[in-house]
Amino acid sequence: MKNKHTPEIRFPGYTGDWEQRKLGEISEKVTEKNKNNIYSETLTNSAEFGIINQRDFFDKDISNEKNLDGYYVVRPDDFVYNPRISNLAPVGPIKRNKLGRTGVMSPLYYVFRTHDVDKTYLEEFFSANGWHKFMKLNGDSGARSDRFAIKDSLFREMPIPIPSMEEQTKIGNFLKQLDDTIALQQQELTALKQTKQGFLQKMFPKEGESVPEVRFPGITGDWEQRKVQWLIDEGIIEEPMDGNHGEKHPTASEYVDYGIPFLMATDIKNGIVDLKNCNFIAIERSKKLNKGFAKNGDVLITHKATIGEVAILSGLSREYAVLTPQVTYYRVIDKSKLAIKYLYAYFNSPDFQSTLKLEATQSTRPYIGITGQHKLDIKFPKAIKEQEKIGEWFSDLDNLITLHQRELDALQETKKAFLQKMFV
């Protein structure tokens, strides 16, 4: 025993020091090969999804089912280190086989079987990042930038903080319950998003149809299909506008810490405009521009590189935000003819999105300019009340999705904080 220390947060009644053990002292490397191809299920270790069937992850078999005798046998509760690095796993993930069945894995993986340690506790330890420092000090990304290289002998030297078995179990169970809550919240969020996609398909007319599949009770009026240019000519919307091109376009050297928001395509995602983390330009610089001044209530849509992200600009404390050439604003003038929230919802419909992306791929790089946007079709019910009902319905659903997303984010941050404070 050596390097005794204690974590910042502990359960009541636990005061003893933790000991530090080497990974090699509480585990053995699995070297059992799949002789005679006894096991046929090839597994993979994903940083995001853990140990899963290879076909489920890649949508196809990467390995050759007829030649798996050189693969390692991975039994239930075995741990696996995958040296492939990613944003989620900067030194590669270590995951536990929780499938409840035996499979095989490529010899590129390091498979190990533990003893004298609570497996759930160890699994949660590896979901934290405290062990990353050891890896970075003792290995590197090697010749291949997508793989982390560390010798087996050094890997087994990894220090593992070990409290009493009783405390290990408490920590593991507590964090697992938090994982289960996060998973349930994620499932609810996914279900809401799928519900939204389903209604986006059914509440707008499909190609070649004049009315949608699903309508609110008591509404039977016709829908119209008009070009964006017609909406401009009729004075229903202003001329859509993107940002300044060429010499007038602000450069990165002109960004300031506080000023006028300078919105790029990457600042618009999942119906939200990120006004906190976007770039800013000085007010004086913005006055030298001649277009692309977006205001609260404008519907923004990305039309270059990233195609089809849509949001209603809101929460702007300044008179306007400035757009880059990647983003177009749509400003409704006659709200008795076109509801803003309806337009936002329609821009998200599969019919419009597929048309937009098809038109955008006609150029060498995904792009659809203002002239091309003028030719796009907009389908809408003649009755403004139906437009407003559709817009409000999707707005309420978006608010519910946002609420669930925030709850999920909060749970994930809580888990992250506990991982930092419950291990040493």
At 88-145, the pLDDT tens digits run 999 999 999 999 999 999 999 999 999 999 999 999 999 999 999 999 999 987 666 7
Query: Tokens representing 180?
Result: 């289960």
Asked if residue 320 and residue 281 are part of one domain, the reply reads yes
Predicted confidence (pLDDT) at residue 13 exceeds the cutoff of 60: yes
Residue 228 lies in a domain: yes
Long-range contacts of 203-212 (CB under 8 A, 24+ apart): 203/345, 203/349, 203/390, 203/393, 204/346, 204/349, 204/351, 204/352, 204/379, 205/351, 205/379, 206/351, 207/351
Asked if residue 126 and residue 43 are part of one domain, the reply reads yes
Asked if residue 288 and residue 258 are part of one domain, the reply reads yes
Predicted confidence (pLDDT) at residue 2 exceeds the cutoff of 50: no
Asked if residue 308 and residue 286 are part of one domain, the reply reads yes
Residue 279 lies in a domain: yes
At 267-301, the pLDDT tens digits run 999 999 999 999 999 999 999 999 999 999 999 99
CATH of the domain at 422: 1.10.287.1120
Residue 210 lies in a domain: no
Residue 218 lies in a domain: no
Asked if residue 337 and residue 296 are part of one domain, the reply reads yes
Which of 33-37, 80-84, 292-296, 312-316 is the least confident region? 33-37
From 110, 139, 162, the end of a domain falls on: 162
CA–CA separation, 299 and 391 (whole Å):
13
- Cβ atoms within 10 Å, residue 62: 11
At 68-94, the pLDDT tens digits run 889 999 999 999 999 999 999 999 999
Asked if residue 13 and residue 36 are part of one domain, the reply reads no
Asked if residue 251 and residue 187 are part of one domain, the reply reads no
Task: Give the mean pLDDT of 385-406.
Answer: 96
- Cβ atoms within 10 Å, residue 236: 20
Predicted confidence at residue 267, as pLDDT, reads: 97
CA 355 vs CA 241, 258, 308, 350, 367: distances in Å: 20, 38, 10, 8, 13
At 344-381, the pLDDT tens digits run 999 999 999 999 999 998 777 889 999 999 999 999 99
**SS (HEC) of 353-407:** HHHHHHHHCCCCCCECCHHHHHCCEEEEECCHHHHHHHHHHHHHHHHHHHHHHHH
Residue 214 lies in a domain: no
Asked if residue 195 and residue 171 are part of one domain, the reply reads yes
Asked if residue 230 and residue 108 are part of one domain, the reply reads no
Task: Give the mean pLDDT of 187-192.
Answer: 97
Residue 211 lies in a domain: no
Predicted confidence at residue 383, as pLDDT, reads: 93
Q: At how many degrees (to 10) do helices 165-202 and 119-127 cross?
A: 60
CA 139 vs CA 90, 135, 153, 232, 346: distances in Å: 12, 6, 11, 61, 51
Which of 7-21, 27-41, 112-126, 130-144 is the least confident region? 130-144
Predicted confidence at residue 140, as pLDDT, reads: 87
| pLDDT band, very low/low/confident/very high, at 237 (cuts 50, 70, 90) | very high
Predicted confidence at residue 58, as pLDDT, reads: 66
CA–CA separation, 148 and 156 (whole Å):
15
Task: Give the mean pLDDT of 43-51.
Answer: 94
Q: Give the whole-number percent of the chain exceeding pLDDT 90.
A: 86
Q: Over the range 259-294, which residues count as b (16 or more CB within 10 Å of their CB) and which as e?
A: bbbbbbbbbbeebbbebeebbbbeeebbeebebbbb
CB 178 within 8 A of CB 37: no
Burial of 222: CB neighbours in 10 Å, binned 0-12, 13-18, 19+ = exposed
Asked if residue 354 and residue 238 are part of one domain, the reply reads yes
CATH of the domain at 100: 3.90.220.20
CA–CA separation, 129 and 177 (whole Å):
20
User: Total structural domains in the chain?
Assistant: 3
Predicted confidence (pLDDT) at residue 62 exceeds the cutoff of 60: no
Asked if residue 169 and residue 294 are part of one domain, the reply reads no
Q: What is the mean pLDDT of the chain?
A: 93
CA 319 vs CA 107, 264, 328: distances in Å: 60, 18, 17
Predicted confidence (pLDDT) at residue 3 exceeds the cutoff of 50: no
| pLDDT band, very low/low/confident/very high, at 57 (cuts 50, 70, 90) | confident
Asked if residue 260 and residue 157 are part of one domain, the reply reads no
Q: What's the domain range around 337?
A: 223-381
Residue 288 lies in a domain: yes
Residue 178 lies in a domain: yes
Task: Give the mean pLDDT of 146-170.
Answer: 96
- Cβ atoms within 10 Å, residue 110: 21
Predicted confidence at residue 206, as pLDDT, reads: 86
